[in-house]
């Protein structure tokens, strides 16, 4: 039996490569139909929800003091020896998995040490990027938001690390054509050589909702995610200002984190591990990305039967085609977002069940088993090329 190994640092419900790979693992592990190959994960499995918030890490005094204790512990010789032994054992095990595989799937940007093992062993390689734009641009955006600099040399290093995966890949997988836009601009030469596949994402809901709704009374619009320009957090804040000036009875709330300036008319709830509590309590979810990959958040909203407003950029375009109870935002601007919010509110009040068709789309297409089925079909086809 042929072997496939998926390489990502860890599996954890939520966003980014850990969340995506967690959903893939859940789909694989809960599907009864036997596969023609053995799948394994070179990853650590964690409980809870992965926080991808793009923050510089400012913390309360008590947290900083606790971190100081941890830093002193980590500086001790005993800690360093124990850490080296643990990391070395894990690397040895993962290296063996990679060498023993026929096909190696790298999920998301990472160091090249495991890629080098796969290349040295002559394995077939699949690479799937995961950030809205190339990692070098993501890092520069985070640094700018935090008031620090990403030097030209650092930018070039991130770019070349990611290019290594594109150059080595026999296949590059994207969740949709729209999600590939930023990568085709940066790595067009490499993508002309390798094969490309599109596999739409899916989720296994990590429903940890609490019973008590935590949001404000009245009609609530929620932003959930990183407070960064790519996610359109500033547009969300500006739209809140626009509607507040018109005395519309709408409350804008945000759940997440980052270094962006908070909106004066936005209730900031900070990072929350029980995101489903807040998604359930909101009347409308806003997805105002400037740059979009194929976010998992809209799929979680679909699972809950929530209506959304969403910009027509990148992978959002492909998601809009599959999520009928979602209002497209006509252009990437605060005014367009505010207009879409008012339009969605009218439909919610008029129809009552606006959002139900998104739940139907989840049940049919975006559940973890259907997601795994798409990957299974791809992997079977890819393995046919392996001698």
Report DSSP letters for 18-67, one per residue: HHHHHHHHHHHHT--SPPSEEEEEEEEEEEEEE----------HHHHHHH
Question: pLDDT band at 325, cuts 50/70/90?
Answer: very high
Q: How far apart are CA 268 and CA 237, in angstroms?
A: 10
Residue 90 token pair: 């894990």
Mean local confidence (pLDDT), 16-25: 90
pTM, two decimals, is 0.85
- pLDDT tens string 222-251: 999 989 888 999 999 999 999 998 888 899
Q: How far apart are CA 189 and CA 167, in angstroms?
A: 9
Q: How far apart are CA 291 and CA 229, in angstroms?
A: 8
User: Residue 77: its pLDDT value, please?
Assistant: 54
In the three-class reduction of DSSP (H, G, I as helix; E, B as strand; rest coil), residue 202 is classed as coil
Which listed CATH number (3.40.50.2000, 2.60.120.380, 3.40.50.720, 3.40.50.300) goes with 219-365?
3.40.50.2000
Residue 307 token pair: 């209506």
Mean local confidence (pLDDT), 183-211: 88
Is residue 192 predicted with pLDDT exceeding 90?
Answer: yes
Q: Does domain 2-54+86-204+367-383 have CATH number 3.40.50.2000?
A: yes
User: Residue 70: its pLDDT value, please?
Assistant: 43
Place of tokens 């799948």: 39
By the 8 A CB rule, do 109 and 129 touch?
yes
In the three-class reduction of DSSP (H, G, I as helix; E, B as strand; rest coil), residue 310 is classed as strand
Q: How far apart are CA 32 and CA 141, in angstroms?
A: 43
Mean local confidence (pLDDT), 8-17: 84
- Angle of helix 334-351 relative to helix 233-245, nearest 10 degrees, comes to 70
Domain boundaries, the chain: 2-54+86-204+367-383, 219-365
Nearest to 318 by CA among 294, 343, 286: 294
Mean local confidence (pLDDT), 351-361: 95
Q: In what order do the strands lie in the sheet with 219-226?
A: 266-268, 250-257, 219-226, 284-287, 308-311, 326-329
Q: In this structure, how many other beta carbons lie within 10 angstroms of the beta carbon of residue 351?
A: 12
Q: How far apart are CA 120 and CA 214, in angstroms?
A: 53
- pLDDT tens string 164-190: 999 999 999 999 999 999 999 999 999
Say if strands 2-14 and 326-329 run parallel, antiparallel, or are unpaired: unpaired
Residue 358 token pair: 């998104």
Q: In this structure, how many other beta carbons lie within 10 angstroms of the beta carbon of residue 333?
A: 16
**DSSP E strand stretches across the chain:** 2-14, 37-50, 103-107, 124-128, 171-174, 195-198, 219-226, 250-257, 266-268, 284-287, 308-311, 326-329
Dihedral in degrees, nearest 10, Cα atoms 255, 257, 262, 266: 0
CA-only gyration radius of the chain, Å: 22
| Equal CATH topology for 2-54+86-204+367-383 and 219-365 | yes
Q: How far apart are CA 4 and CA 26, in angstroms?
A: 16
């Amino acid at each position: 039996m042929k072997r496939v190994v998926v390489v990502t640092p860890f599996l954890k419900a939520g966003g980014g490569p850990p969340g995506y790979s967690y959903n893939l693992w859940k789909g694989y592990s809960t599907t009864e139909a036997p596969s023609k190959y053995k799948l394994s994960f070179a990853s650590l499995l964690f409980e809870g929800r992965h926080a991808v918030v793009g923050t510089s890490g400012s913390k309360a005094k008590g947290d900083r003091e606790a971190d100081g204790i941890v830093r002193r512990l980590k500086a001790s010789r005993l800690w360093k020896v124990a850490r080296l032994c643990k990391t070395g054992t894990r690397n040895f095990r993962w290296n063996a998995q990679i060498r023993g595989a026929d096909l190696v799937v790298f999920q998301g940007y990472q160091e090249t040490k495991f890629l080098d093992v796969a290349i040295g062993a002559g394995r077939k390689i699949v690479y799937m990027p995961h950030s809205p734009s190339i990692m070098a641009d993501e890092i520069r955006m985070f640094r700018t938001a935090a008031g620090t600099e990403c030097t030209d040399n650092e930018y070039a290093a991130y770019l070349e690390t990611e290019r290594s995966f594109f150059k080595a890949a026999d296949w590059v997988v994207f969740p949709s054509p729209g999600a590939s836009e930023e990568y085709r601009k940066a790595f067009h030469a490499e993508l002309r050589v390798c094969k490309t596949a599109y596999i739409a994402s899916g989720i296994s809901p990590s429903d940890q909702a609490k019973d008590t709704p935590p949001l404000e009374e009245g009609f609530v619009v929620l932003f959930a995610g990183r407070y960064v320009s790519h996610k359109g957090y500033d547009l969300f804040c500006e739209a809140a200002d626009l509607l507040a000036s018109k005395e519309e009875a709408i409350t804008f709330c945000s759940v997440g984190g980052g270094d962006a300036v908070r909106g004066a008319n936005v209730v900031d709830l900070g990072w929350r591990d029980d995101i489903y509590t807040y998604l359930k309590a909101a009347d409308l979810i806003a997805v105002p990305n400037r740059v979009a990959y194929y976010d998992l958040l809209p799929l979680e909203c679909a699972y809950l039967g929530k209506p959304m407003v969403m910009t027509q950029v990148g992978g959002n375009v492909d998601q809009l085609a599959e999520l009928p109870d979602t209002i497209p935002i006509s252009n990437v601007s605060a005014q367009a977002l505010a207009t879409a919010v008012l339009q969605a509110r009218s439909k919610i009040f008029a129809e009552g069940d606006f959002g139900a068709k998104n739940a139907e789309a989840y049940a049919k297409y975006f559940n973890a088993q259907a997601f795994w089925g798409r990957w299974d079909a791809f992997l079977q086809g890819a393995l046919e090329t392996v001698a």
